[in-house]
Structure 1
Amino acid sequence: MTKIERILPQGFRLVAKPSHCSLEGTCLEMKGRKLGPLGTEDVKLVLRSFTQGRFAMKPRIVCVDGAGSELSCEPEPLVVEVLEVTLPDHVATGCRSLDCALFGGIPKDYAVILTSTSCDERELLIKRFLEVGAQKGQVTFYVTTKSSGVDFLPKEYESDFYLFICNPQVNRMIESLPHVFKSSGVDNLTDISIAVASASRKLTASPKESRRACIEIISDVLLQHHAVSTRRWLSGLITDLKSKGFTTLAVMNPQMHSQEEVQAILGLFEGEINIYDRKAEEGRRRFLRVTKMHDQRYLKSEFLLEEESFMTRQNVK
């Protein structure tokens, strides 16, 4: 048996396969797998699709007999129905891979941390998380040291998007707007907490929509204030945001800190998501995996991150 052609319907991706096989386009190369007379072999594949609907799998199996002649057969088509599984009270992140792994998004009111080195995929996930919230009319807080990539959000969604920038050059980075809060850095954690608390106190007591917050300054704070002070400050901030109905995504680069400091921070969160890179058949690629989500169902498999993993603005409902 040399190969199985047309193994992937359009829009599907191969997630798992036997170790002796390799995928070339939509063809599964069997590398000369030998079968005896009337022999059979099970080929178990795991496929993934982000597109709902009914799809027909029409594989063509190609073999070479003892005389070197090529033979082929086409089994009966297999119809696969793809359904979207979305649990209630989940907050969509804008990353289809992550929302798929979490059955709809981050559980409402959870505080979850994303661990990742600096990379395009991390920045895109953060941007989509913020953008989706603003587009849905959800109050969205963003605590960061930079405004690049999201500086249009305070203007476009001025009633729902709140930007907290902690940077010595903040006045050069963005103009003053009603929902833009400026700090000269992360030296004074109390000032940051007061700014966030002051903004949250002005919100309605019973929101109609979910609220979301992204805290992207953890590594900066941890470098300057170390584990004990950072943990104390972050614990208070998370508690305050939860009391106001926020679902929180925090971000940390674990390679910037000692293992002891990393563990001190991770313990504050109900969920953990990791972006990492490793060698794949196509070279080094970046993957996403949910490693923790207390008392919730989630997929433990890894997801390859590609441009199609992130929903476009038109996809948001």
Structure 2
Amino acid sequence: MQLSRNGIEHRHLFKFGAIRSEPEALALAQARRDHLMQEHPQIPRWRTIERAICNGKLGGVTYVAGPDKPSSCWCAETPMVDGTLIRETFSIARFSRAAKQLAIAERERQLNLMVAGFAVKAELDAASNRLGNGQNDAAMYGIVRHKTYWLVKLERSRQRFSKTFSFAKLGGVQDALAQAQAWRDDVVRQHPPVMRQQRANKLRSNNKTGIVGVTCVLGPDGRPRQWSAHTYIGPGKLLQKTFSVYRHGEDAQTLAIAERQKQLEQMEGRARLHPVEEQVRSSSTRRASQQSTRTDGRSSDGALGRSGGERRSRRQA
């Protein structure tokens, strides 16, 4: 069972071997799904945006009581992405029973303005070296601007790399940025992320079998009932296969280990640290190769020039 709710992934396995039958496993999975949907209702997009920009003050439709009923009113207010708050009131003395419905309609209008303003801000952020999820694009990956310097900060296999590039010492903001990007590219090229297979084979502290990706299901008597091999290949793709001890005997564990290796063969590429990681590394490697080619070409030209000069000197002699 896999369900995404308000940005949180919920995954639960209901194994046929551990449960009496496939229909019972399906019924349990459906019950768990229904419980999660009831426990975590989907939050509307406008509510998510409002919470992100409200600075602690949510909007809505409220009844504002006056000294007497005619002086009371219904109020609709909504925070905007620029920090302002749109607020409209509808007097009961003027609109009577329609005041509440008018406030609700005004709230809907304000929400549309809020969502539209948030979309415009997202476009501006994207134009300012930002991706849709708020992360930096390839040009500014790993680089943060401070008041007087650029800071490059990366982490590779628990090893941290950081360096500052001062505006004053390096000829201004743009020159310092160029040097920061060059240093960042060099770190990215020399320290690529680990292969996904290598990371998937890392033994976790909660592993009980001593074999990564292979688990054992015990029966009521405490003896192994079945061995299972499982590998998470990517979003929505989980490979899993079980081997019954009753059917395969002592070979069940060996078969599960072999199956785990087959599953790992379907896992390709390196671990993804950032959406633009591969783009930065590819462009950095390409530039380094071009620079190396130009350097070798100049060296060869120089050597040819010296050889020609030596031949001319010998002819003149």
Query: TM-score, normalised on structure 1?
Result: 0.22
Which structure ranks higher in relative contact order (CA pairs < 8 Å, sequence separation ≥ 6)?
Answer: 1
Larger helix share, 1 or 2: 2
